[in-house]
Amino acid sequence: MSQITKMGISYRFQEGKVLVNHNKFLGYTKDDQGQLVIVPEEAEVVRRIYREFLNGKSPYKIAADLQRDGIITGSGGSRWYDSTVIGILKNEKYQGDALLQKTYTVDFLSKKRVNNNGHAAQYYVEESHPAIISKEEFAAAQAEFQRRSNMRGYSRTGKSAYTSEYAFSGKLYCQKCGSKFRRSAWGTGKNKKYVWICINHQINGNSACDQKSVKEKDLEKAFVRAMNWVINRKEIYLEELSRDIYHGLEPIAEEYTMEELYARLENLQEKMKGLVKRSIKAGNVDENGHSVLGAEIEKVQNRMKKLKEQITERSMRQKRVEEFREFLVLQEGGIDRFDDVLFRRFVDSVEVQSMVEVAFLFKVGVEVREVLG
């Protein structure tokens, strides 16, 4: 009987029926009908977390700032951890979707549940409840996680965490070895200056990477020149962005439209519904039929998820281009000093090619090379 019960639960997941636990869920509560509804004050905290993360802050820094400001966590506590922030940034429910069966019951008598690491099918339901974060922002946050993890770093433990304490933190990487750069102070008193050093070179020496350090002030001046280069040629860049807005993005390979995939999913779900009804009536389980249909449903859902991510990625790029275009149109003249907010807002990364040359890669896909000094 437990197998039939399990099939019934599985079908409800496949059909898109969602039961979400709102306890310790920052931003949401449930109404009288048991539906998730947004708590405005808490939702603003969630939006702040996404905003600050996309502007370059690390989860650790965000957590520290929230705790400093006396913001209450979803569980009602005052202590914030970077793991809490990461959990919020990676929770698809904030964009109105739900990934079901993240855990599953291994024993119906003891009710013991464990993490689902591929032992049971998972089901992704879109627009199951009101969203706090747009799909574009959620996709951008996941892409930012990937970008930060792709930036190699070195430490004595073999691990390297992303930091956002300074404007260039997590943005500089070495063209020679791919490592991140670390800020260091040279000299004391009036002679004190800050430089950025390839972490691989700093820890492992010239044999690992012979990249030289670069001065922070030179980096700031180089950004001012790069920004002014774009501003002074904004008509050219605006035309290029309009012509090739999706430059550098992975092409969409899916042969079917989202509507066609939805239709395919509905057809499979109807078949599953019939299978479950027959199993319950007969008092036995067609495990093979359930497994085959479940695999097909999961395959279609994964294709839909991939296509949705690509569509969202393009929507996010369009949003960034519009934001960049608006800035350029309103900019009467160039900037005269380094602006860390502007840098975090528009620059994705900086490739240090040598001690005298860098390349600024803007979030809209524009690249500008500059000489240091």
pLDDT digits (tens, 9 = 90+) for 68-98: 999 999 989 999 999 999 999 999 899 988 7
Which of 339, 123, 144, 101 has the alpha carbon at shortest distance from 231? 339
Q: What is the pLDDT of residue 116?
A: 44
Which distant-in-sequence residues (6+ apart) come within 8 Å of 219 by Cβ? 168, 172, 196, 350, 358, 372
Q: What is the pLDDT of residue 365?
A: 84
Q: What is the pLDDT of residue 23?
A: 67
Q: What is the pLDDT of residue 110?
A: 47
CA atoms within 13 A on the CB side of 3: 11
What is the separation of C-alpha 147 from the centre of its chain, rounded to a whole number of angstroms? 9
Identity of residue 123: Y
Residue ranges for the chain with pLDDT beneath 50:
1-7, 9, 16, 104-120, 155-159
Q: What domains are there in the chain, each with its CATH number?
A: 1-150 (3.90.1750.20), 151-212 (no CATH)
Which of 137, 27, 133 has the alpha carbon at shortest distance from 71? 27
Which distant-in-sequence residues (6+ apart) come within 8 Å of 8 by Cβ? 276, 280
Q: What is the pLDDT of residue 1?
A: 39
Q: What is the pLDDT of residue 215?
A: 95
Q: What is the pLDDT of residue 163?
A: 59
pLDDT digits 0-9 by tens, 328-346: 988 888 999 999 989 988 9
